[in-house]
Structure 1
């Protein structure tokens, strides 16, 4: 039998919490292997070892060669892995983060499946964006109108602040370079925000696809959640990067700028708090919690050999 190298698989309570991790790491044109409990990154410039349990989401760009042992470590460490396009602007596939509690998922499914509770959660999302106004009686159409006006004001305010001309949002998924510099920066900044949002959602056990405002896409809730933070993070950062650097390596500069802003603003901490608030989940059970569902007797023990009722009687 071949002996596996590296440390043993960690227990759930040994892993770093989402709020304590580095937000994301983007890699391209590199070979990834495992060295003990770290991801060994080999590039033409040298070798770097990245502690796997301290990364929230790993974005793998073009030219990545990753070994089975490296992927095994990422999964054991609760790291979300996303395969993306050049500059990190498109998502092709993802690997789900480690989680053993369904409390967030069950609550989310319950809330999104009822019209009244779904609107209630959507209003909570908009209330976070309009903290000085009461939106509890507004319809979804009214909320969309208010949000559209708010976002337009945000773009115009950032344009005036930085001196970067602004016309409209333009994004072609298949032709990144055809956009204006500010639109390139916005695309990269938003994608970084989506990656971090997905990581927190998956790490806490919620579903990225069960959206309350967006619907019909496997990342609907990611878009819902990320929209809460664009006005404070991705939009102003994109205008700052464009004003300072123009089109000079704008994708890489913007991505690194977002990483720094996530850390400075402690955004992961805020995201965890907001997700618990939106889904009304505060008391999260310990991992390794598994039961059998019963429509009459409630939750039953797992791992018990049950007998036929008629046979017993």
Structure 2
């Protein structure tokens, strides 16, 4: 058989453990290629080598061009590529997920299709948003929504007082962006930016963006669920800051995206988002368990909770 050209893929033993990887690297305005078992990023300043086996997710921003061989190496190394906007804001497309196991996806599907389990996860999400409040574990969805609505109103008022921006209520028209007030335009742009980052994390983990617990019926329902955990810390203050600075009003969407981008530069949100998703879907298990990422076993469902090994012939003489 003809030998396949190029460097051989790394063996499983050569791949870095998931918790020791560089979770996310963002590149823009460069050419992404491959040299042996390293990803290279080249621009006018030179070339940087990134060990593919130590990489979780490669975020490809504006002006980036990626070669076929670079994508092959990412796939062989259990990494993924996600095409995003500047500094990770706005999500466009993604390659294969980082996880080789469907463990998180299986858990997500099982939880969202069981009413009591779904309510339990929804309560956990609300508890992450207001951890100082008690009694959340006994509230209905209607009560949770009411408490969340009151919390968000308080946050809006607080930032309006902080920045001096006039605030009435959250109002926007998806068909007419410019019809909203300055602060409402900034809030819409900021939230869209956050959705892009969260979407990139979710697909990198191998989860379904459409299987939400609080939100439902949309292809990004789970994205909206997770993004809501961080709006009070990231998008709301960024939007009010932009609205308070009249020099930024010529291009509110761009100014807001830059503000959100600057708040994400340290990368802590990405790490936190990964941990939150895993904790919500696998609350009783070690969220740093390598099996979530590296299991590459294909089984066949055998009814109930049973599975049998795949790749076998199970012919039975009748």
- Normalised by the size of structure 1, how large is the TM-score? 0.76
- 1:160-175 to structure 2, matched below 5 A, reads 160-169=161-170
Contact map agreement 1:127 1:134 (CA 8 A) in 2? no
Cα distance in 2, alignment partners of residues 174 and 191 from structure 1: 15
Cα distance in 2, alignment partners of residues 255 and 151 from structure 1: 19
Give the secondary-structure state (helix, strand or coil) at the position aligned to 2:217: coil
Show the counterpart of 1:303: 311
Instruction: Give per-residue Cα distances to partners, 1:203-222, cap 9 Å, x unaligned.
Output: 43322221111122222111
Show the counterpart of 1:254: 259
Cα distance in 2, alignment partners of residues 203 and 56 from structure 1: 7
Note the residue ranges of structure 1 that are not aligned, 5 or more in a row: none
Note the residue ranges of structure 2 that are not aligned, 5 or more in a row: none
Cα distance in 2, alignment partners of residues 275 and 8 from structure 1: 30
Q: Which moved more, 1:75-84 or 1:99-108?
A: 75-84
Contact map agreement 1:164 1:243 (CA 8 A) in 2? yes
Give the secondary-structure state (helix, strand or coil) at the position aligned to 2:41: strand
User: How far is 1:161 from its partner?
Assistant: 2.5
Q: Does 1:198 align with 2:199?
A: yes
Q: Does 1:157 align with 2:158?
A: yes
RMSD: 3.8
- Normalised by the size of structure 2, how large is the TM-score? 0.75
Show the counterpart of 1:216: 217
- 1:89-108 to structure 2, matched below 5 A, reads 90-108=90-108
Cα distance in 1, alignment partners of residues 275 and 88 from structure 2: 27
Contact map agreement 2:9 2:77 (CA 8 A) in 1? no
Contact map agreement 1:60 1:81 (CA 8 A) in 2? no
User: How far is 1:114 from its partner?
Assistant: 2.0
User: How far is 1:227 from its partner?
Assistant: 0.8
The 1:15/1:87 distance shift into structure 2, 3 A limit, reads closer
User: How far is 1:178 from its partner?
Assistant: 8.0
Q: 1:294 aligns with which of 277, 289, 302?
A: 302
The count of aligned residue pairs is 302
User: How far is 1:226 from its partner?
Assistant: 1.4
Contact map agreement 2:56 2:98 (CA 8 A) in 1? no
The 1:252/1:58 distance shift into structure 2, 3 A limit, reads same
The 1:136/1:72 distance shift into structure 2, 3 A limit, reads same
